[in-house]
Amino acid sequence: MADLTLSSDGSMASTALPQLAIAPAQVVRGAGILATAGEAISRLGKRPLIVGGDRTLALVQPQIASIATNFELAISQATYGADCSEASLGDLRQAVSSHQADLVIGIGGGKALDAAKLLAYQCRVPVVTVPTSAATCAAWTALSNVYSEQGAFLYDVALPTCPNLLLLDYDLIQLAPQRTLVAGIGDALAKWYEASVSSGHLDQTLIIAAVQQARVLRDLLLQKSVAALQAPGSQVWREVVDASVLLAGVIGGLGGAQCRTVAAHAVHNGLTHLLQSHGTLHGEKVAYGILVQLRLEEMVQNNWLAATSRQQLLKFYGEIGLPQSLADLGLMDITLAELARSAEVSCRPGSDIHHLPFEIHADQLMAAMVSTIAPISEPKSAASREADRADLAIQPSSE
């Protein structure tokens, strides 16, 4: 995770962030609360720049217009483009300057919120986040992911604080396709499978708390997700939305940089370098990445618990519609060279995949990526494991 700050020339430079960014200063949640949030917004600024996508900005226009009139706010809007990229952030900084904005309001999905948070930090103004889906915990976290103009993950930026205000409007969330909540469930599940591996052995109080909250989050999602998806807008649906957007963020806040992502998010990052993957959501790639991580633990460590966990997740994924394989991600026809490229990105130096408690190479990762739905087998001897790894290793073609 890169700890960065904005230098005087506008470039990003490394800095130390000794403090924890645990939570937004204020969280307001409820049905229709965006329309009633004018007072809370106006306390933070009088000239907000709203950052979102074209469709989202049109969707919330009535509520925003009412707030502007009632609280005498001078509001301007700007689209972040297709991704939170360095180029789009440059354009957004110009928009802040031109409007003389004293507040940024991010409205939309994870990329819109990441762009808004990083923009506000770069321009040294407060930020409000308004998620329009439950697909990620981006509305909560002090973190922004930066992508290339082509949608490939480049790096993340640790921010010194969480947002000043988070507005979770259940009416807005319910308008989003159900697929987004399913993806959010997948993204939130990764908190346990990654944090338990990277940080489960640590003895610091807050990290222990974060890992245990990740376990609670997993259990809650396994127990309630099916019912929630069957009854959008219900109390159990709201509980799963809260879990995906809020509780997942709590875990990252408590654990900080030491409660790290591992292979599931590294696999996501590698997949974004394949154009064919851009039709799938962040949480869908991460959910598939959890299966890859568990498969690696089976193959390399002969981990029986990982094998049974993978089978449990395969059943759960089938019930709610999360991808179980490359084919489910629409990647059945990629070449070995493309798969190798994705694996190499996932395994490059500094990747979160190296937080696994064992050494991992791209050929092993490729073998795991193509065998996520493999049937469970009995634990094997060390000699058998070595033979299996040799058999499963895939050498990329020259295509």
CATH architecture of the domain formed by 179-255:
Up-down Bundle (1.20)
The answer to whether residue 324 scores a pLDDT higher than 70 is yes
The answer to whether residue 395 scores a pLDDT higher than 70 is no
pLDDT band at 381 (very low <50, low <70, confident <90, very high): low
Considering the chain, tell me which residue range(s) the CATH 3.40.50.1970 domain(s) occupy: 17-176
Between these two residues, 349 and 385, which has the higher pLDDT value?
349
The answer to whether residue 76 scores a pLDDT higher than 90 is yes
The per-residue pLDDT of the chain, averaged, comes to 91
Strand arrangement, sheet containing 103-108: 27-30, 165-169, 127-131, 103-108, 48-52, 76-79
**pLDDT score recorded for residue 177:** 97
pLDDT band at 399 (very low <50, low <70, confident <90, very high): very low
CATH architecture of the domain formed by 261-399:
Up-down Bundle (1.20)
Q: Per-residue pLDDT tens for 136-173?
A: 999 999 999 999 999 999 999 999 999 999 999 999 99
Domain 17-176 has CATH 3.40.50.1970: yes
**pLDDT score recorded for residue 397:** 39
**pLDDT score recorded for residue 7:** 41
Instruction: Please report, in angstroms and rounded to a whole number, the separation of the first and last CA atoms in the chain.
Output: 33
How many angstroms separate the CA atoms of 61 and 59, rounded? 6
Considering the chain, tell me which residue range(s) the CATH 1.20.1090.10 domain(s) occupy: 179-255, 261-399
- 3-state SS of the chain is CEEEEECCCCCEEECCCCCCCCCCCCEEEECCHHHHCHHHHHCCCCCEEEEECHHHHHHCHHHHHHHHHHHCCCCEEEECCCCCEHHHHHHHHHHHHHHCCCEEEEEECHHHHHHHHHHHHHHCCCEEEEECCCCCCCCCCCEEEEECCCCCEEEEEECCCCCCEEEEEHHHHHHCCHHHHHHHHHHHHHHHHHHHHHHCCCCCHHHHHHHHHHHHHHHHHHHHHHHHHHCCCCHHHHHHHHHHHHHHHHHHHHHHHHCCCCHHHHHHHHHCCCHHHHHCCHHHHHHHHHHHHHHHHHHHHCCHHHHHHHHHHHHHHHHHCCCCCCCCCCCCCCCHHHHHHHHHHHCCCCCHHHHCCCCCCHHHHHHHHCCCCCCCCCCCCHHHHHHHHHHHCCCCCCC
How many angstroms separate the CA atoms of 217 and 221, rounded? 6
**pLDDT score recorded for residue 20:** 87
The answer to whether residue 19 scores a pLDDT higher than 90 is no
pLDDT band at 386 (very low <50, low <70, confident <90, very high): low
**pLDDT score recorded for residue 379:** 58
Rounded average pLDDT over 325-354: 96
**pLDDT score recorded for residue 258:** 78
Q: Per-residue pLDDT tens for 90-110?
A: 999 999 999 999 999 999 999
pLDDT band at 267 (very low <50, low <70, confident <90, very high): very high
